[in-house]
Amino acid sequence: MMTGGLVVLCALSCFVLSFTDSFRDEEGKVRYGFATFRGLWVIDGGAPLEPLAAAGFRMRFLDFVHAIVSAMIFVAIALFDQNVVSCFYPTPSEDTKQLLTALPVAIGIIGSLLFVSFPTTRHSIGSTLSSQ
């Protein structure tokens, strides 16, 4: 029960963090925010962006695709760990073992192909931001 809750909580954080972005303000400091349908909501106490500049950071359909795929990849990686699997399936059948071996690899490959085919322009919290 607790393991499932932790996996869901971490997958949810992967989903939500897909909507974060960063930018450099006039002083050159990196500022962080969440993408909304109206633009970027600055969360680190810096001065808000001008509405025209914030509009460039709006949520897009691709952000939702990246968020869903990120959460799926996290769950796939979690299911690849034997300690997590043993919490859900203490004595798995042979078919379940094969599924739990193949499914994370398939989700990882499909997710990687989607990320490479449709890259995001977001600079999430923790990713590097160029000096320009």
Q: Domain spans of the chain? A: 60-120
Assign 130 a pLDDT band (cuts: 50, 70, 90): low
Whose CA is closest to 60, among 122, 14, 117, 111? 122
Region 2-23 average pLDDT? 92
CA 20 – CA 127 distance, rounded (Å): 10
pTM score, whole prediction:
0.83
Q: Are strands 40-42 and 20-24 parallel, antiparallel or unpaired?
A: unpaired
**pLDDT given at position 19:** 92
Angle, alpha carbons 73-74-77 (nearest 5°): 85
Kindly report, residue by residue over 91-117, the tens digit of the pLDDT. Answer: 888 998 898 888 888 998 999 999 999
Over residues 33-92, the pLDDT tens digits come to 889 898 888 887 767 777 787 788 899 999 999 999 999 999 988 988 888 888 888 888
- Tell me which residue of 66, 86, 64 sits closest to 74, measured CA to CA: 66
Cβ burial, residue 73 (10 Å; 0-12/13-18/19+): buried
